Amino acid sequence: MVAVTFLGQPHHDPSELYVSDPHPHRGDTVELRVRVPAGQVAAVHLRHMHDGEAAFVAAAPTDGPGPDEWWAARVLVDNLTLQYRWFLVMADGGTAWLNGSGVHRRDVTDAADFRLITTAAPAWVADAVVYQVFPDRFARSARADERPTPEWAHGARWDEPLRTYDQQQHRQIYGGDLDGIIERLDHIASLGATVLYLTPAFPADTNHRYNASTFDRIDDLLGGDDAMRRLIDACHARGIRVMGDFTANHTGATHEWFLAAQNDGNAPERDFYYWTDEYPGYACWLGFKSLPKLNHASPGLTERLYGEDGVIRRWLRFGLDGWRIDVANMTGRLGGIDLNREVAARTRAAVDAEGDRWLVAEHFYDLHHDVDGSTWHGAMNYAAFSRPVWGWLERPSTNAEDAHFSVTRLLPSIDGPAMIETMAEFMAQVPWAVTTASFNIVGSHDTGRIRWRVGDEGRAMAALGLAHTLPGVPMVYYGDEIGLVGETGEYGRRPFPWQAEETWATGTLQAVRELGALRRDSHALRHGGLRWIGATEDAVAFVRESRQGSALVVAAREATGQKTVPTALLPGIESGRLALGSGIRVEGNQVVMEAERGGIAVWVW
């Protein structure tokens, strides 16, 4: 087994160690810095784009940590995005470009240029840890006993098994509610969570509520508007923000807008939808007639959604701190129609109008066409995080998920070096500020559970550890911290077993709590850059470095052999300590890394 190593190469990323202000305003001048191994480079130039034309600035030597040489160049941020790369004149007489995908001794496209954006997410996002709750399944308060089961629903006891698809699983109601969440905020806070993300809370005739019947009120089954007010107030009192979930792509077929449009051809809501001559008479999401697709060419719809009194802004004023937008990658797209960027820009403008709020897109594939910082702040990062992590760690017992969720279909099985290559290639094509404002997801309501996917606690801890330590915002899906299982998104939506603590994976729970605390205490894990150290088939190592500290991370899927790195390549590591896990130590002038089992280890200094 050959180890792939990455230290000892020129490096830059748009984090605070290399950029004087990673979130500049247009008109600011920033200093950009690059590190190169001593003696390798004779001169450095910065190429940046100005109004679509390339310009060059000569860099000068400057001070920096460690044995590397550092070069710096100053440049005016005069466009909304500063796009740039480095040109290296090598000591051996050769030349090379340095961009987000690495060092190239030939011309390369602009796709992996570094990008510094002037439209970044709110500052608090960098410190966030997200906890996702599916309201019907997280916790049930005594108030739920007073609410009758709707005619469309199949009521269930909290410890009752999930129904199958054939048994109308989507109509099975356990009675979880918003007051139940309030009663369990101690648990959520213990994980280090700073953001509570709720899947939809508007009324609907399913347990998932992605087919809303109105956007004007909170479902009475969850406690209504009053319960949402109690939840937001309780969360804010603890310093926890609350993020809603909105379906801009479609409504339910029972939505008041859709019913008005069906019943009256002259209704103002008529042009909110696409009408066809084919069954069922209107365009719908992926053929589900219960989910009629919204027509974003309609000025009336735009006003209802994004105007001052529209849905997006009204609920932000109610107290929500941001929105996750469902199937954002498909919203505004239908056949030859593509209004996706217009929809994203309208949503962003509405969110920005309410100030200091976070906007995250559900996006299943390559982000760079749709998520460039001027639209969504970030995304649920399935492409650059989830899929490579799953491909490295997974060994599922069935392929049932593939029939229900295309993101996992035909997922390549990869080794450690391939995981790094995949992540680096995807990350290189989006602004750093987008990556750091995106969810690092190991599982969600749409996917099989991470414990089912990887098969054992060690690999699950490796996945959760990577979510907390790589650039981006860790998202913990309720129950993953105690090892809940389920081979599809629907079969993973199990009631949280508060009544059966003996079933919890207590090792995983303790690790997630430690990861949350470590991320809170480590400036490097929240604001640092990323240098890959190396990889073997079964382990990967990287370092996060900021102005206030560093963190070395080793993630493993199995026990591995010993690998070493000279301490000189990680300046100051001798003064550090093992903060989580085992298998990292300093011996003389070497850092020794040796995973004893699957899991995560972190050394901080």
Tens-digit pLDDT profile for residues 38-50: 999 999 999 999 9
CATH number for position 539: 2.60.40.1180
Alpha-helix runs per DSSP H in 27-92: none
In a domain, 80, yes or no: yes
The answer on 175 and 67 residing in a single domain is no
More confident residue, 372 or 507: 507
The answer on 173 and 34 residing in a single domain is no
In a domain, 150, yes or no: yes
The answer on 477 and 578 residing in a single domain is no
Number of C-beta neighbours around residue 279 at 10 A: 7
Residue-wise pLDDT tens digits, 537-563: 999 999 999 999 999 999 999 999 999
Q: What is the mean pLDDT of residues 589-598?
A: 95
pLDDT of residue 191: 98
pLDDT of 69 > 80? The answer is yes
CATH number for position 39: 2.60.40.10
Residue-wise pLDDT tens digits, 385-404: 999 999 999 986 666 666 66
d(CA 553, CA 578): 10
Number of C-beta neighbours around residue 513 at 10 A: 15
Q: What is the mean pLDDT of residues 310-337?
A: 97
pLDDT of residue 402: 60
The answer on 98 and 144 residing in a single domain is no
Considering 524, 545, 576, which residue would you say is the last residue of a domain? 524
More confident residue, 254 or 65: 254
Q: What share of the chain is helix, strand, coil (3-state, %, to 5)?
A: 30, 25, 45
Residue-wise pLDDT tens digits, 256-292: 999 999 999 999 999 999 999 999 999 999 999 999 9
Tokens representing residue 420 in the block: 């790094």
The answer on 470 and 593 residing in a single domain is no
- CA distances to 241, 494, 512, 523 from 193, rounded to whole Å, are 9, 21, 10, 16
Does the pTM of the predicted model rise above 0.85? yes
The answer on 139 and 43 residing in a single domain is no
The answer on 464 and 385 residing in a single domain is yes
Mean residue pLDDT across the chain: 95
Considering 476, 502, 524, which residue would you say is the last residue of a domain? 524
Contact 19, 529 (CB under 8 A): no
Tokens representing residue 362 in the block: 């559900």
d(CA 371, CA 249): 17
pLDDT of 429 > 90? The answer is yes
pLDDT of 28 > 70? The answer is yes
Q: How many CA atoms lie within 13 A of 552 on its CB side?
A: 26
Contact 219, 245 (CB under 8 A): no
What is the 8-class DSSP label of residue 227?
Answer: H
pLDDT of residue 19: 98
d(CA 295, CA 251): 11
Number of C-beta neighbours around residue 31 at 10 A: 14
Q: How many CA atoms lie within 13 A of 103 on its CB side?
A: 18
Exposed, middle or buried: residue 588 (CB in 10 Å: 0-12, 13-18, 19+)? exposed
Residue length, the chain?
605
The answer on 199 and 175 residing in a single domain is yes
Residues 6+ apart with CB under 8 A from 233: 319
d(CA 159, CA 177): 16
Tokens representing residue 103 in the block: 């060092």
pLDDT of 419 > 70? The answer is yes
Residues 6+ apart with CB under 8 A from 93: none
| Nearest partner of 132 among 324, 375, 371, judged by Cα | 324
Q: What is the mean pLDDT of residues 510-525?
A: 98
pLDDT of residue 300: 98
Q: What is the mean pLDDT of residues 503-508?
A: 97
The answer on 538 and 471 residing in a single domain is no
In a domain, 265, yes or no: no
pLDDT of residue 1: 29
In a domain, 256, yes or no: no
In three-state secondary structure terms, 212 is: coil
Residue-wise pLDDT tens digits, 184-242: 999 999 999 999 999 999 999 999 999 999 999 999 999 999 999 999 999 999 999 99
Considering 492, 524, 556, which residue would you say is the last residue of a domain? 524
pLDDT of residue 412: 87
Alpha-helix runs per DSSP H in 536-594: none
In a domain, 262, yes or no: no
In a domain, 268, yes or no: no
In a domain, 543, yes or no: yes
The answer on 367 and 505 residing in a single domain is yes
d(CA 540, CA 375): 33
Q: How confident is the model at residue 2 (pLDDT cuts 50, 70, 90)?
A: very low
Query: Beta strands of 15-167 (E only): which ranges?
Result: 29-36, 41-50, 53-58, 60-62, 69-76, 81-90, 95-99, 102-104, 114-117, 130-133, 154-155
The answer on 65 and 201 residing in a single domain is no
Q: How many domains does the chain have?
A: 3
Domain that includes residue 535, residue range:
529-604
The answer on 533 and 518 residing in a single domain is no
In a domain, 520, yes or no: yes
CATH number for position 296: 3.20.20.80
d(CA 141, CA 223): 10
